[in-house]
Amino acid sequence: MPLDTPLLTAPELNVLVRHRVPDVFIFDCRFSLADEKAGLRAYAEGHIPGAYYAHLNRDLSDMSAPPSEGRHPLPEPAAFCAWLSRHGAAPHSRYVAYDDAGGAIAARFWWMLRTQGAMDAQVLDGGLPAWTGAGGELEPGQPPASPEPAVKPSWPVRPWPVVSREDVRRAAAAGHLIDARDARRYHGIEEPIDPVAGHIDGARNLPFKELLAADGHLLPREELESRWRSASAHPSSSVVYCGSGVTACHLILSAVAAGFRPPRLFAPSWSGYIAQEGLSGP
């Protein structure tokens, strides 16, 4: 039965870990755009007991895809599901994803799981800082080897429910296209990553970081609902994007946490859009 919230608290996770509840898969999603090995190093230094490691570039993206698919293209659904199967993880398993960035990366994994039929997936609210702040222990070491299970779980392998460029144009015209990046990037004042600054015409700005409290937890449900209604008259009909299709998933997470149906994802996001449009920097 699907869980009624996309978020899990640190004390709730502690119960699962302490009692070694079966068929629970915890994934550490820490990652740095500046150093793609930093997350794995941090994992090795200390992670939630029993957690596996999900690498944004290697496990949650297909970096061989063309630029039109964005900086973090989604992998083929079959490849993602096969990776999960190698861990012995099934659609009916329970999942908890965490990072140290307010859920910015973990939400991408959560969204991928949910759209492939794993409805018992949650993000650790407040991430690793919440875990350690609540007295949770860490264990050092490299990711455990995943022995091939005797019977690999079967996955439905669904196409990613993403939108096209034409869908993006329609959403923009209706006032339902939402940009998850911070205001300075949205307004084109600065662009530290992509070759072109700015935003898709007609997009509105709802920075995902502004939906987080100072301690990295998501804002209370009522506040999330208010922020979303200010950004879009119909949050559940919205299309979201960011720089590369990662933090936009955090907007989807926040919308679901606020009680809305999941907005749709424009996976290529700004980096893919400028490539599709043939835009280039100075």
**Is 177 domain-assigned?**
yes
Same-domain check for residues 91 and 188: no
Same-domain check for residues 13 and 116: yes
> How many whole angstroms separate alpha carbon 122 and alpha carbon 151?
25
Residue 26, SS3 per DSSP: strand
Q: Which of 82, 112, 133 is the last residue of a domain?
A: 133
Is the per-residue pLDDT at 257 higher than 90? yes
Point out the catalytic residue in the list 29, 81, 242, 249. 242
CA–chain centroid gap for 94, Å, is 17
Same-domain check for residues 169 and 129: no
pLDDT of 273 reads 97
**Is 152 domain-assigned?**
no
φ/ψ of 248, rounded to 5, equals -60, -30
Is the per-residue pLDDT at 2 higher than 70? no
Q: Could you give the C-alpha distances from 146 to 51, 85, 91, in angstroms and in order? A: 12, 10, 17
**Is 157 domain-assigned?**
no
Q: Which of 111, 133, 155 is the last residue of a domain?
A: 133
29 noted as active-site residue: no
Same-domain check for residues 117 and 219: no
- The string of pLDDT tens digits covering residues 157-176 is 999 999 999 999 999 999 99
User: Pseudo-torsion of CA 70, 188, 170, 176, nearest 10°?
Assistant: 100
> How many whole angstroms separate alpha carbon 78 and alpha carbon 158?
8
Same-domain check for residues 199 and 116: no
Tally of structural domains, the chain? 2
Same-domain check for residues 31 and 123: yes
- The string of pLDDT tens digits covering residues 22-80 is 999 999 999 999 999 999 999 999 999 999 999 999 999 999 999 999 999 999 999 99
Same-domain check for residues 181 and 117: no
**Is 23 domain-assigned?**
yes
Give me the CATH number covering residue 36: 3.40.250.10
> How many whole angstroms separate alpha carbon 17 and alpha carbon 187?
44
**Is 70 domain-assigned?**
yes
Range of the domain at 264: 165-276
φ/ψ of 220, rounded to 5, equals -60, 155
**Is 203 domain-assigned?**
yes
**Is 144 domain-assigned?**
no
What's the number of CA atoms in the CB half-sphere (13 Å) around residue 257?
31
